[in-house]
Structure 1
Amino acid sequence: MSAPLRNVEYRVLWAAEAISSAGDQLAKVALSILVYHRTGSALWAAVVYALTFLPALAGGLGLSFLADRYPRRAVLSLSAAAQAVLVGLMSVPGMPLAVLCLLLVVVQLAASPANAAQNAITREVFDDDELYLRSQDLRGITTNTVQLLGLAGGGLLVTAVGASWALAIDAVSFAVAAVLVRAWVHNRPAAGGEHSTWFSATRWVFGRRSLRVLIALSWLVGLTVVPEGLAAPLAQQLHAPSAAVGWLLAADPLGFVVGAYLLSKFVSAPQRRRLAGVLATGSSALLALFLLQPNLALALALLALAGALGAYIITVTATFSTWVPNELRGGAGGLYRTGLRVTQGIGVALGGVVAQATGSAVTAIALAGLAGVVLAIPTALCWTRVRHSVAAGTLQ
């Protein structure tokens, strides 16, 4: 597990991402509290929180190609520096709400080329597929651990230091990330150069069946994420205390961390690719067991196990990046991440609609699991055929 950290470049990239992710978790909580206290409107608080996601979708498709067109170290460090300045402005006390929202949109747009550059550089750092996959395991574990810590203490920390100081901490985290990347990541020439244009990677990706199947496997996460959007009504339906909302939200990322660790520790890269379809199906099947009308303890266990099997997504993401040529990796990665976030958003929204229509969060989660199984089985079979064809050299 720790082998990738022996590489200085990766160690810096990992630390920079961990630091900025922790700052982001803090900033999301701070913004929600700040806006709600200023406006007294739950709707405004929700709108501002949504702005932490929506611009990233447009940026993922429209701006990620910059990580191919220009040197990736420059894209990553300049994006982080820009985010540091913008979030620093957001931390100024009394900033008008309209300006705050505008700054937030620009911050999220700047995140898209930075994420694309980060992922592409990491693939450049490791020539060995096994070591690269381990590096992605470590990133996944770190990101979900930061999410858990944010759920556990983000609100308390913001309450203690204040929303403006929390945003200032986020700004500092971006500045630190920019300095680390500039100082220790190698300056490589642009991978794609002038040949990289808007949507060139998108056209290339959708022209390959192997990559289309990998994208389909990733989109299954849109159904397994449904319980996150129903944590509050689920806790109420289970007659659980209000604190159980946090437990239900934490169960999936906690399971994911454990699953990612076990896969990284005990399963080789080829075996993990073989198991990807099975794990994807199993993750949805565990949610389908909500048909049994579980109590709180069983619900937490099912969510944690689904999260553990859901760690298959690390293998899918790493394989996708490996199968895309370096000169298109930034734009292709932006397409992949955008699709993942869109399906998650749609899944949560549909889960809410079903829960409202049926009057039951448990039923909505079970139906999401059943739908996931129905979609996962043919996708897994396609994945098996594609994997064999790629191994035999008969499919791109």
Structure 2
Amino acid sequence: MTTVNQSGPGPVHASTLEPDGYRCVLRVREFRPVFAAHLLSVLGVVVAEISLTVLVYRATGSPLMSALTFALGFLPYALGGTLLAPIADRFPARRVLVGCDLVCAACAAAMAVPGTPVAALLALRCATAFVAPLFQGVRGASLADILGEGDAYVLGRSLLRMVAQSAQLIGFGLGGLLLTVLAPRAAITLTAAGFVGSALLLRLGTRGRPARAGGGPRPSPLAALRAVLGDRRLRVLVLLGWLPPLFVVVPEVLLTPYAAGIGASTAVLGLLMCALPVGTIAGEFWAGSALTARTRARLVVPLGSVSLLPLLAYAVRPGVTVLLGVLVVAGLAHAYTPGLDQWFVEAVPEELRGRAMTLFGTGVMTLQGVGMAAAGVAAEFLPVHVVVAAAGAIGTGVVVALLAAVRRTDGPPAARTGPAAP
């Protein structure tokens, strides 16, 4: 590891260090507060989701209204990401990130006020979800400023993803324990404190940088979408990020009815629900810590092509042991994601990075919601194991076609861009 003086006034990029896996990224002083802020906000969101579900159910006695609090974490993504994407590059990143955190903190604080009606609770939940794609997009773009555009950027995004997945796995368990000693509104107060802490970390721990595209008239949401999707390679890469999650969520959302159909207990169901995310975390950690950047890039095509194939095992209605292995292997195959991140950041012009990241995250979350709904509808008419196996087969065809399209878009941006919009 090269020794770098991090006490000077200039930015320290991990790209100036010799490759050393995730430790290289964590040595960057400016990345550490981003990492800590991410952990605080993710844990806060998990606690808020559990607490709101309990609070709404106690107030209404309605399972539908309780479930709606989870759905509202997905539904505003498409609207918020589309409408807010144009401003992602027009204001300094730190100002946008701190502002989003403070909006979420204010919403959480309002949820914690005694007597807040259920309709207001759901509206506040929508508000936090509405700004989430902007926050995530701007943070993703700012990582390239902090870490550079090379391997360190890929590892930084990978680390934040793994933290989010791990925090969700741990957070739901800890959130349940927390509600045994605290009332739901008191637990939501901790969420507000977490967002305030995240805002302080970002404000005091990161450098102020100018906006990427501060001048000129404000672009419309449609213009922002055209700007991001105008390049053929970037358009295919966006689809490659958007569409696989639509199929990946199918086994997760149908796991409860499938487990009931094979006679699995609730304890076994909990174990099965952890299998896919645990496999995903392990696969991504292996790719980030054991492989070089070149190897990760080379693995995108082979691993991406087979990532959904394990779901075909559902066709024979596997038992618990086989199913556990199938889900873990399906998660491990997502070791291709860091390499795909590198392809994406290399394809995005710097002046579009905030908008591109915002729209990218918006599509991922929105299509996950679509996948959940479509899986539920399909399972009303077909056996669960058939639905999951079909998702694996169709999804594999989609991913292979997109990977083939990516290979056909190599070349400079000018050669890849279609005719200019009138």
Tell me the TM-score normalised to structure 1 length. Answer: 0.94
8 Å contact from structure 1 (residues 224, 287) kept in 2 = no
CA contact (8 A) 2:141 2:353 kept: yes
Letter in 1 for 2:272: L
C-alpha displacement of 1:128: 4.7
1:376 aligns with 2:394: no
- Alignment of 1:51 with 2:72, yes or no, is yes
Counterparts of 1:17-166 in structure 2 under 5 Å?
17-166=38-187
Which deviates more, 130-139 or 167-176?
130-139
Deviations 1:178-230 (A, max 9, x none): 01111111000111113452333311222111112212222122101111111
> Any conservation in 2 of the 1:254–1:304 contact (CA below 8 Å)?
yes
Does the aligned pair in 1 maintain the 2:37–2:197 contact within 8 Å? Answer: yes
Q: Which of 360, 371, 383 is the aligned partner of 1:336?
A: 360
Separation in 2, partners of 1:34, 1:349: 24
Secondary structure of residue in 2 paired with 1:65 = helix
Task: State how far apart, in whole Å, the 2-side matches of 1:367 and 1:354 are.
Answer: 10
Percent identical: 32
Q: Does structure 2 conserve the Cα–Cα contact (< 8 Å) formed by 1:68 and 1:327? A: yes
SS in 1 for 2:136: helix
Counterpart position of 1:282: 306
Distance 2:361 2:176 in 1: 27
Number of the residue aligned with 1:249: 273
Cα drift, residue 321 of structure 1: 3.1
Counterpart of 1:177? 198
Deviations 1:148-189 (A, max 9, x none): 112433222223322112211110000001011111110001
SS of aligned partner of 1:94: coil
Letter in 2 for 1:51: L
Pair 1:293 & 2:317 matched: yes
Gaps of 5+ in 1: none
Q: 1:136 to 1:161 in 2, by over 3 A?
A: same
Structure 1 residue aligned with 2:11? none
Q: Does the CA contact (< 8 Å) of 1:88 and 1:171 recur in 2?
A: yes
Post-superposition shift, 1:318? 4.3
User: How far did 1:243 drift?
Assistant: 2.0
- CA deviations on 1:248-279 (whole Å, 9 max, x unpaired) are 22111111110001111222223322322322
Name the structure 1 match of 2:14: none
How big is the shift at 1:304? 1.3
Counterpart AA for 1:295 = G
The whole-number CA distance in structure 2 between the counterparts of 1:222 and 1:392 is 28
- The CA RMSD measured in Å over matched residues stands at 1.9
Change (3 A) 1:192 1:128: closer
Q: Does 1:215 align with 2:238?
A: yes
User: What are the ranges of 5 or more consecutive residues in structure 2 without an aligned counterpart?
Assistant: 1-21, 418-422
Letter aligned with residue 233 of structure 2: S
CA deviation map 1:103-130 (0-9, x unaligned): 2222222323222221111111122511
Work out the CA distance in 2 between the residues paired with 1:155 and 1:146: 14
Q: Structure 2 counterpart of 1:13, which letter?
A: V
2:332 aligns to what? 308
Name 1:385's counterpart in structure 2: 408
Which among 295, 301, 325 is matched to residue 349 of structure 2?
Answer: 325
Query: How far apart are 1:244 and its partner, in Å?
Result: 2.5
Q: Which amino acid aligns with 2:366?
A: V
Structure 1 residue 391: deviation in Å?
8.1
- Greater percentage in helix: 1
SS at match of 2:369: helix
* 8 Å CA contact retained: 2:240, 2:402: yes
- CA pair 342-82 structure 1, distance change in 2 beyond 3 A: closer
Contact 1:277 1:383 in 2 (8 A): no
Alpha-carbon separation, structure 1, partners of 2:247 and 2:123? 31
